[in-house]
Every structure is written in structure tokens, then in C-alpha cells.
Amino acid sequence: MICATYDLIDCATPEPEPHELLDAMRAAVARLGATILGELPVLFQPHGITCVLVLAESHLVVSTWPEHQFAHIDLFTCRADTDPEHALQPIIEVLGSRKVHGQRIHRVTPTSFSSETSQVSPSSAVAFDRRTGCAPS
């Protein structure tokens, strides 16, 4: 399983055409060996774009902040047999990022749940509102 986030800093092309970003994302998904089930590009005013690819294996999201020459990639997939840094190169190239900061996040898999995690006691668990997905304030 891969759960990773990447900050793309000092992007030379922080606001590519939506079709260019989606093409780069599709190329990344092909490198991952994943299957695209759906696509959603959302343009913001006055600038910026978030593109979501829903994968059979989970998701790939890219959001841009052109005013800061910055973009963010969020990748979550149950495919663990591919190097995500290599797979995401088409996205990094289309945005022209001069610096990439990435981090992998360890996630528990359903098959490893009992062996890799300790149980959370009810008193230390954080409740979330199912309607908003947020912790109560």
C-alpha cells in the first residue's frame, strides 16, 4: 500500500491547462499500473486547479496554488509494487517543479491490522461527525 504526499515547490508552470495536467496524471497512473474509474477537474477563480482521479486502487489528487508557484500531490493506492516517485514524474515535469518534498505515510492494511497496531482505548479515541468528517470543536 502506498500513501504519500508531495509538495511541489517553485513550479515554473504552476497553472497548466487542465488537459495537460490530466494527461500527466493519466501517465502517472499508467506507470503505477492502476485503473482509472473517474476524473474530476475543478477550476478555481481567479486561478488554481484541483484534479482528482478515482482509481480502482484508490485515488490520485493534484491541487495547484499558482500565486505561490506551489502544487500538492496526494496518492493513495493499494498497489505497492511500484516506486511512486518514478510514477509521478510526468506530473512533476508538467508543473516544472524545481523542488519536491515528499513523505510516505504508514497506513494499516486490513490484513495487517491485528499484527501491526495496538488497540485504541475508547477514552483516547477521537470522535468524528459522520456528516462533516471533522472532529467536534
Sorted by where each starts, the structural domains of the chain and their CATH numbers stand as 2-99 (3.60.90.10)
Strands 58-65 and 70-77: antiparallel
Strand partners, 62: 51, 73
Sign of CA pseudo-dihedral 64, 66, 67, 70:
positive
- pLDDT (average), residues 113-132: 48
pLDDT at 126: 45
Supply the pTM of this predicted model.
0.79
pLDDT band at 80 (very low <50, low <70, confident <90, very high): low
What is d(CA 134, CA 115) in angstroms, rounded to the nearest whole number?
28
Strands, sheet with 49-55, edge to edge from the N-terminal-most edge strand: 36-43, 49-55, 58-65, 70-77, 2-11, 97-104
What is d(CA 101, CA 87) in angstroms, rounded to the nearest whole number?
15
Average pLDDT across the chain, whole number: 84
pLDDT above 90 covers a percentage of the chain that reads 66
Query: Rounded to a whole number, what is the distance in angstroms from the first to the last CA of the chain?
Result: 32
Angle at 107 between CA 21 and CA 57, to 5 degrees: 45
pLDDT at 112: 65
The length of the chain, given as a count of residues? 137
pLDDT band at 44 (very low <50, low <70, confident <90, very high): very high
pLDDT band at 106 (very low <50, low <70, confident <90, very high): confident
pLDDT at 78: 84
3-state secondary structure of 95: helix
Q: Check pLDDT > 80 for residue 114.
A: no
What value does the CA radius of gyration of the chain take, rounded to a whole number of Å?
A: 17
pLDDT at 105: 84
What is d(CA 17, CA 120) in angstroms, rounded to the nearest whole number?
45
Sign of CA pseudo-dihedral 119, 122, 123, 129:
positive
